[in-house]
Each structure stands twice: as structure tokens, then as C-alpha cells.
Chain A
Amino acid sequence: MDSRHDRAPDSRTPEPERSQTTLRVNGKPHTLMVDHRRVLLDLLREDLGLTGAKKGCDHGQCGACTVLVDGRRMNGCLLLAVALDGSEITTVEGLAGDGEDLHPLQQAFLDRDAFQCGYCTPGQICSAAGVLAEAAAGHPSHVTDPAAPSGEPVALGREEIRERMSGNLCRCGAYPRIVDAVEDVIP
């Protein structure tokens, strides 16, 4: 048994390997004592029971764990929860808000049958939500014409969607329909 467990807990003394962390997840505040090694993905899945974000590679290569952190898409598997103290997290469970309706991206993925096994889908949908926000904010991509004016929204064609979604792998190969689904939601 680890000797740390033998000591009486003392809330005044900061623990060397754990810290209190507060995150707002899908609009609800959660204050947890987290092991510094805890990554956001494991916190969501294991501590909060939000199993929408998936563990694929666990190394930031597949995008299955994509969630929104303060509105920006990131890989939950590479973010230490303790470093996110005070952040607002949105997972696929919270994307549509409180109502009965699905988020337009969720509906488009259903309408377009944009998956086979579905494992990568929550990450794809959260990533697509990030893509739409980034393009609207004028963020260029690798395939955006360098001469395009700075700061203006970027029009998303299929090539732009494919490039911007390249951090989300789909081993079933549903890519063409994923692009269809994202294209359906472009304002």
C-alpha cells in the first residue's frame, strides 16, 4: 500500500501530486480533486461518466477524443485536466444544449449516414463544430488561397472541409459522407 494513504487527509496542505480543479462541462460546474496525470479525456469518461468522447490512439493522432475547450477544438487525450482549471468544456453530449433537438451537425451525420461503426463520430462532430467556428472567424487552412483577405470568413468547399477535418481519422472510411454532412451545415 502506498504510504500516502496512511496519512490523515489535511485539506490545508496542498498535495504534491493532486490538485483541486474546477471545470464547467456542458454548462455545469464540476470541482474535483484530480491526479496531475489525469488527462481531460479520462476525466470526462471515468470521473463524469461522459463517454461520448472516445479513446482511440490516446496519443493525439486520431481525433476520436476531440472536444471543445473554451470553444476551440482540441484533443482531450493530450490535455492535463489540472492545467484546464476554470475552462469551459463542451462534449458531444452538450453540443445541442438542453433542448430535445440534435445539433445540426448531429442531424446531418444521421441524414447522410456519415459513419459505419460510429466510434470516431463524436470526435468528428465536435471537430466539425470547431471547423465551422474557425472558418467563420477567418482562420485560413493549408488549402486556403494565401491571397485571400485576412480576417474575413473563409468559404468552406469540399477541399477546405477535407483539409480542416484531417485530424479526425475514420477507419471505416466514411470520409465522403462526413464531408457531405459538414457541407450540409455550412451557413
Chain B
Amino acid sequence: MKPFAYVRAGSVEEATDAFAAHPGARYLGGGTNLVDLMKLGVEAPAALVDVTRLPLDAVEELPDGSLQVGATVRNSDLAAHPVVRDRYPALSQALLAGASGQLRNAATTGGNLLQRTRCPYFQDRSKPCNKREPGSGCGALEGVHRDHAVLGHSDQCIATNPSDMAVALAALDARVELTGPDGSRSVPAADFHRLPGMHPERDTEILPGELITGVLLPAATAGLPSAYRKARDRASYAFALASVAVVLDVGDGVVERAGIAFGALAHRPWRARRAEDALIGAAPTTAAFEHALDLELAAAEPLRDNAFKVPLARRIALDVLSRLAPPATT
């Protein structure tokens, strides 16, 4: 690991100032991914700006019924928070499906959103990777890519986003709150991560120096039936082969609101807008769910060794939709 400077920030302003003052800096959250990447030599920051002690560790109910989650709230605390468990169950379930107890105790909300792909070619400096080293090629295209993308990939990069939490945030219409040198803004969680296109080195829409200060869970999805399901090679402590977060609101026998996001299928949580559009106004029947999912997954372009992901994703999504629909309607 290369030597680096260390700055502990006491306020958001101190953090963004320190970042600006240290070219080549990275913000340090729980460090569960960044420190590992530094050990692997994939990341070699000149400085770490430690943001774990910023006053962003609260989960607060706002007067309009939304829920404000600070960026430094640890994953285990967010998953256990009574309001999250009761009103946004998909988020609690997604967090608990990720990593291990030890890692969830350290990992932060902001850091979870900024974790990098676990593509083995990205993590191995002896291999080509357009994400790690633009222009060097992609070792996974013709290599070991069973875990890789089936939607939205490019010939530059077929990596997937590894987060479970981000999938739930996308389905729940959460927003990611950012502060940078030019002020504050917020971005829909579903649009925060990018597709690789010609620039796989950019995972997200975050701008240089911007800091994630929190996540806003909207009143609109509070209390709606929601759930997360993850398919993986082991029963626990493994990244997803496919996962899905679903928010489903049924009234008067028809779907009034649907939020469906897939994980482990793409370079970002894959918000299934086509499926959602097909479901709005339809009776929540198995046939309607199947039709909607088929419309969405028709866009899939599996690689040589990961075609299994498409029917797997369809099956777990159908299961979650059926479970969330009121009894006797399917």
C-alpha cells in the first residue's frame, strides 16, 4: 500500500475543503471496500478524508412523512431501525442480505452506494480492465463472466454493481443527497449509478469532490408493501447472482404503484420501468406479472456463461410480486 495523508473532518465543509486541498484524495467511510482496494493496489489515494465522524449519523422522520438517513449511519443500524423495518421493509431486508454482520457494523450508507464492482478483473491489477485503467480492455468479456451483466452492458465493461441496499433504494424512489464545492443537490437513487457505455471508469453521477451527505426515503413509498429477494450461490454471505426489490401498491383490485428494481444484472440497480408501466392499472394476477417481467427482460443480452440469470431474475421477481399482492387476487 502506498503511504497517504490522513485528515479527520469534523464538518461537511471541512471534508469538502480537505478533499479540494489534497489532490488524489478519497473520502473514507467504513473502509470495508476502499481499504481492501488499497491493499490490492486498485486504489492508491494520496490522502484519505475521514468522514465517519461527521454529524450525519442520524435517521430522522421529517414532517412531510419522509425519512432522512445520514450518510454515516452504519448498515446494521439502518437495517435495524424500527421505522425502516416497518415502513421500508425492502430496504431493511436488502441490507441484511448483504455482506456479514462484521461488515455491516462498519459499512456506512454513503460508502455502500460508492462501493466498487467485485468483478475479479477489476480487482486484479495484472488483468486488463477498462474500469480500473481506461483503454486497457476487458478481461471478462471472453473470460470468467458468470456473475456479470445481462442488461445495459457495453463492449467496454460488463461489470455489475454489487450493492443490495442500492437496489432497494432504487425501487423505493429514494434520493441521494450530495454536497460539493458548488453546493448541494439530490439525485434519484435509481439514476445515481451509471451504465458503463464508453466510460466504465465512472460508476456514478457524483462529481469530483462531492460528498454523499444522506439518503432521503420519500413519504410516497412509506408503509407500502415492499420486499427484497436475493439469489446467490451460498445461503449467506455471498454477492447476488440476481436480486430484486419490489414496492407494490394495489387498490380497488388494480396496481396503483409499482417499483421494481433488479440487482446483479447490470452496472447499476436496474429499475424495471417497462414492467412497472405494464402493471399500472392492471389486476395483480400471475399472468399480468409474467407479462410485465417478460416485457422488461426481453431487453436482456446475456453473455456466453450467464444466460441463467434471466430466468432466475424472472422467477424471484414473480415470487416477490405474488407475495406482495393481496391474497386471492393472483
Binding site for B on A (CB under 8 A): 16-17, 19, 35-37, 39, 58-60, 63, 66, 69, 72-75, 78-80, 82-83, 85, 127, 130-131, 134, 137-142, 144, 146, 150-151, 162-168
Contact = CB atoms under 8 A, between A and B. Distances in A.
Interface of B: 1, 3-6, 8, 28, 31-32, 35-36, 38-40, 48, 50, 52, 76, 79-80, 82, 85-86, 89, 92-93, 96-97, 99-103, 105-106, 227, 234-237
Contacts of A167: 99-103, 237
B226 to A, nearest CB: 10
Contacts of A60: 32, 36, 102-103
A83 B38 CA distance: 15
B102 A166 contact: no
B76 A80 contact: no
Contacts, number: 117
A169 B99 CA distance: 13
B295 to A, nearest CB: 29
Contacts of A146: 85, 89, 92-93, 227
Contacts of A75: 32, 102-103, 106
26 contacts: A17-B5, A36-B6, A58-B39, A59-B39, A72-B76, A72-B105, A73-B102, A78-B32, A79-B106, A80-B35, A83-B28, A83-B48, A85-B8, A139-B79, A140-B85, A140-B92, A141-B101, A146-B85, A146-B227, A163-B235, A163-B236, A165-B101, A166-B234, A167-B100, A167-B102, A168-B100
B31 A78 contact: yes
A164 B4 contact: no
B102 A74 contact: yes
Contacts of A163: 235-236
Given A16-B5, A138-B80, 4 more contacts: A78-B106, A140-B85, A140-B92, A144-B96
A87 B3 CA distance: 23
A46 to B, nearest CB: 15
A116 B100 CA distance: 23
A139 B5 CA distance: 36
A35 B3 contact: yes
A66 B35 CA distance: 16
Contacts of A137: 80
Contact of A127 (B40, B99, B102, B234): B102
Contacts of B79: 139-140
